[in-house]
Amino acid sequence: IFIKCIYLFSTINNNYLSAALDSVKLKGRSFLTLKDFNAEEIKHILWVSADLKNRIKHRSEYVPLLQGKSIAMIFEKRSTRTRMSTETGFSLLGGHPCFLTPQDIHLGVNESTTDTARVLSGLADIVLARVYSHSSLEHLDKDASIPIINGLSDLYHPIQILADLLTLQEHYGSLKGLTLAWIGDGNNVLHSFMMSLAKLGVNLKVATPKGYEPDANVTQEAQLLSKQFGTKLQFLTDPMEAARDSNVLVTDTWVSMGQEEEKKRRLKDFHGYQITMQTGSVAAPDWTFLHCLPRKAEEVDDEVFYSPRSLVFAEAENRKWTIMGLMVCILTDYTPQIPKLKF
């Protein structure tokens, strides 16, 4: 009977592991939005990211998992963190990054996006594109035979959220049950949070001024996810109410690239949305602060931004480890060496 019980337990356990493995299929896939990835897939990317950080940063190992591979980096919009994290990360893994500015490649202008996608498919193993319009990514993905990574679009910024999730996992030890308060513009970063947090058991409270709410279609999808995973999702206009009892306070720029002409009006409309210690006074005792950067003082004051509660610089560094983890997941069959992370 004892032997039969052991055999039964082993069979159940193996079946469980096999099912978990079957739910993680990342190799060869594009990464345009976290909407397309389930909880186990997101967790696996973060696990690989943490493993690479441990091996390369803490153990000083050389891990050339992408040796002989190349990435084409298309940047319609400038960036410090996205460019540095991708270039240094791909190089650390033994690969060759190739940076393409609008002067090098002008999607759909000097050459059709279809032709560009086909050309790059023969010259590189993967593409990361940072674009104005999300439709440009979808067009690239449709016509390319290699994976496409969204480095930022007007609709989503999924690689930023991977860094944020790893940062919070490192700080809190797990994610399930946390409440994140977004205080600011209903933009692409918020949209990516809305497509991922519920899957990991994280509650979300959103405070935006009237007229700056997140996209209606994204909101509808987020409400379905919240219901499916049993999390709380609230949309508010009062920053203090959003901050109340929240573990994580998050904001972003109020004036994105391409919105400079709206700056004066936006600063007026976002009056009262600056995150300060007063905002934090109603948050949970263990509250922390995130910002994807670059940051302006009107969004968060120096007292919060440079305080021990601010995780922004760890968050910025984790952009490198998470883009490395993502690229390894998409291009290889790598299995991490560290134990699985707790979520």
C-alpha–C-alpha distance, residues 315 and 185, integer Å = 20
- Residue found under tokens 């519920």: 198
Run of H or E residues at 270:
none
Amino acid sitting at position 45: I
The region, left, alpha or beta by phi > 0 then psi within -120 to 50, assigned to residue 47 is alpha
Q: What are 243's two structure tokens? A: 């901050």
For residue 292, indicate whether it is catalytic: yes
Helix (H, G, I), strand (E, B) or coil at 262: helix
The region, left, alpha or beta by phi > 0 then psi within -120 to 50, assigned to residue 178 is beta
**How large is the greatest C-alpha to C-alpha distance in the chain, in angstroms?**
76
Residue 107 pairs in a beta bridge with 111
Q: What are 223's two structure tokens? A: 């409400």
Q: In Å, what is the CA distance from 18 to each residue of 47, 197, 256, 341?
A: 18, 25, 44, 18
Q: In Å, what is the CA distance from 175 to each residue of 159, 165, 246, 311?
A: 18, 8, 13, 15
C-alpha–C-alpha distance, residues 93 and 108, integer Å = 31
Catalytic residue among 5, 98, 292, 329: 292
Q: In Å, what is the CA distance from 315 to each residue of 49, 116, 165?
A: 13, 33, 9
C-alpha–C-alpha distance, residues 62 and 51, integer Å = 13
Active site residues: 292
